[in-house]
Amino acid sequence: MPSATQYTPDSRYVRAAADRELRDRQQAHQTAWRYYAGDHRKHLKPSGSHDDNVILNLCRQVVDRTVAFLVPDFPSLELHESADTDREKWLRGVWQANQNAVLLASMAINGALDGHVFARVVPDKPFPRIVNLNGANVIAFWDADDYHNVLWYELRWTVGRKTYRQDVVRDGGRWLIRDYLLHGSRWELQDEVIWPHALGPIIDWQHGLHPVEFYGRNELSHAHLNDLINKVASDTARILRFHAYPRTIGTGFEAANVQPSGIDDFWVIPDKSAQVFNLEMQSDLSSSLRFLQLLADSFLAESRVTMLNGDPQHFKGVTNLGVRVAYMDQIAKTEMLRRQYTAAIQHISQRLLMLGGHEFDVMVNVHWGEPLPVDRREAVELTAKQLELGLLDTETAAHQLGLRKVEIKSAV
């Protein structure tokens, strides 16, 4: 839900389904963003001026590392593999004017937290604009027989005491934009315009692939595990506060019988039967720390995020293959995400070309950058050998090295 067979904006069934869908998505949105912001549950009550609660925000680390791998930089866009045309330059300029890499990373963060991304293209001068829509304000209605076929989008927002709604509706081979204002419990139509272009203004896509649902998967479906990690860390912190250092215990005497000697603050106790000893932990909490590490590793494994311990010296002499093997799972995850975002970039680019008056029924080739550091010499030597054996053409070799075709000869 919500699925439909046709656009029926005044149907009680449709209104109830829309309200339910929006409420559920807003709740999931707020929960995910709360975890991302570090607003996690606190398991221990403060004791006086002491607050032993520990917040290890692995949720944010997972999202940020996933986005950093996905968008190390904005990918290169090409309409023709063998020529750098004016239309290509114009398209790159539009993305640049929309803060390409920053915009794409922002979309990816929305996707990582909401599971689905909504973007809108807006005609403007000198370039069309790309708007990263707030996923908490947008829902989609799709064909009951085919959830890939969106019938209309519904956007809602509130300004002051007024609540607005906009329906972007597929009407045969065109799109309608209908604006509503909420009066009491009734929506009143304020305006209706025809979108004067072949492709619709809104693009949506799944972040994490969800084959049997319209909305995609987010990165924090297991956020509750971060709560358990914080619970173990907080309990350990409290134990350490009380027992990290020895406590001196005295038995068999009254406190008034203790006399300071003045020699290194040594105590003198006249009673021969008195005993003074140190009470200290017999355990180093190694089992608790191992359990904490197990939970953290499990959280990262479920997220398919790799975190390696060590400094650059530990990886000295490691080949490009060795680095990629260490990050194999995260690389595989990134490739899956890039399939989703490649299609999104292509659809957005086609609409930009359309709004710019260019031919838009074209294939936009998207070439992503390498998220991991690469031994440049090793990469060049391998590419040169492949060229020598005729396994690569110069265009493909240029893409592998991040060069233009005209630079490939000097590189190898």
Reported as a single tens digit per residue, the pLDDT across 306-324 is 887 766 666 666 666 677 7
Q: Which residue in 349, 401, 393, 398 sits closest to 375, CA to CA?
A: 401
291: CB partners within 8 A, 6+ apart: 232
In this predicted structure, the answer to whether residue 405 has a pLDDT above a threshold of 50 is: no
**What is the distance between the alpha carbons of residues 132 and 328, in angstroms, rounded to a whole number?**
31
Q: What is the mean pLDDT of residues 217-232?
A: 96
pLDDT of residue 34: 97
pLDDT of residue 353: 96
Q: Where are the beta strands (DSSP E) in 252-388?
A: 259-260, 267-268, 275-279, 365-367
User: Which amino acid makes up residue 177?
Assistant: I
Tokens read off for 55: 């917040």
Tokens read off for 13: 């069934």
In Å, what is the CA distance from 20 to each residue of 13, 17, 139, 385? 11, 5, 10, 60
75: CB partners within 8 A, 6+ apart: 342, 345, 366, 367, 368, 369
Tokens read off for 165: 């709604």
Using the 8-state DSSP alphabet, how is residue 368 labeled?
P
**What is the distance between the alpha carbons of residues 352 and 97, in angstroms, rounded to a whole number?**
12
**What is the distance between the alpha carbons of residues 232 and 289, in angstroms, rounded to a whole number?**
9
SS3 assignment, position 178 = strand
Q: Where are the domains of the chain?
A: 16-145+196-222+330-368, 246-280, 375-412
In this predicted structure, the answer to whether residue 225 has a pLDDT above a threshold of 80 is: yes
pLDDT in tens, 156-212: 999 999 999 999 999 988 999 999 999 988 999 999 999 999 999 999 999 999 998
Say if CB 249 and CB 277 are below 8 A apart. Answer: yes
In this predicted structure, the answer to whether residue 388 has a pLDDT above a threshold of 60 is: yes
Predicted model pTM: 0.82
Mean of all residue pLDDT scores within the chain: 86
pLDDT in tens, 51-108: 889 999 999 999 999 999 999 999 999 998 777 888 999 999 999 999 999 999 999 9
